[in-house]
Structure 1
Amino acid sequence: MEHITKILLLVFLAITFIQSGLDKIVDWKGNLGWLKGHFSETIFKNMVPLLLGIILLLECVSGVLAVAGAIQFATFDSSSLALYAAILSCITLLLLLLGQRVAKDYDGARTIVIYFMPAIFLVFLLQ
């Protein structure tokens, strides 16, 4: 129970990113179509498939690292994978935030900040 806060935050990140990544895999066409419209008036309009792939990869790696970090905490009392998961999660969320801001979707950007707060708090706890 010594690391329960960190483990719970890692589980939060794992759920967030694994679910989001799986959604992108299962409904690639739907996500791509929506995002093409979302970014149609931005500098990203011709890069949507590439950027979606990058975000998909970052989300999946962040989620898997978060699971591995939680397991590592629970079994070995070590935090190296957890810190990598937290940092990569923050980077992923910052890229998502950039996209929302460029698209002028300020409500979407505000939602990203809600996810960023526990992720950056986890970085703080793991330093």
Structure 2
Amino acid sequence: MDNFMTHIVAITILLFLLITFLQSGIDKLIDWKGNLEWLKGHFAKTFMGRVVPLLLATILLIELVTAICCVMGIYHLIADNHTFYAVLAMFLACLTLLMLLFGQRVAKDYQGALTITCYFIVAIFGLYIIT
């Protein structure tokens, strides 16, 4: 219980990131075709338009790896007070959000970029407190 209380802020942020990336990854798996079609339209007038399937697969993979690292981070913070997976999860979350931000900026979707920035603030704060 001491480890839980010591890392309660980091654990809460990891839970937030877990929900965010696990839901997003599951949505991409369940509705791959719908996501792909929407993103093709979103990036149609950009240099990224021709590689949308590769980019979607890349984001899906990193989201799922991030979610797994969040679970492992929570477990290791509570069980043995080790921060490696928590740091890795928060770093991967930041990296993923930067990729998404780049895409939104390229597509000139500034409202979408603003939304991603809110998530990034949470992730970078988590990385700050755990290191």
Q: Structure 2 counterpart of 1:36, which letter?
A: K
Cα displacement (A) at 1:63: 0.8
Matched, 1:73 2:77: yes
What does the per-residue CA deviation read over 1:13-50, in whole Å, with 9 as the maximum and x for residues that have no partner?
01000000000000000000000000000010100000
1:5 is matched with 9
In the other structure, the counterpart of 2:119 is 115
Give identity over the alignment, percent.
Answer: 52
Find the counterpart in structure 2 of residue 58 from structure 1.
62
Q: TM-score, normalised by structure 1?
A: 0.99
2-structure distance, mates of 1:9, 1:78 = 16
What CA deviation, in whole Å up to 9, does each residue of 1:51-90 have, x standing for no partner? 0000000100011101110111111111010000010110
> 2:28 matched to 1:24?
yes
Aligned residues: 127
State how far apart, in whole Å, the 2-side matches of 1:71 and 1:15 are. 15
**Structure 2 portions without partners, runs of 5+:** none
Query: What RMSD, in angstroms, separates the aligned Cα atoms of the two structures?
Result: 0.5
In the TM superposition, residue 126 of structure 1 has moved relative to its aligned partner by: 1.4
Pairing partner for 2:49 from 38, 45, 57: 45
Q: Which runs of 5+ in 1 are unaligned?
A: none
Q: Secondary structure at the residue paired with 1:46?
A: helix
Corresponding letter in the other structure for 2:38:
W
Write the letter of the residue equivalent to 2:102.
L
1:36 counterpart SS class: helix
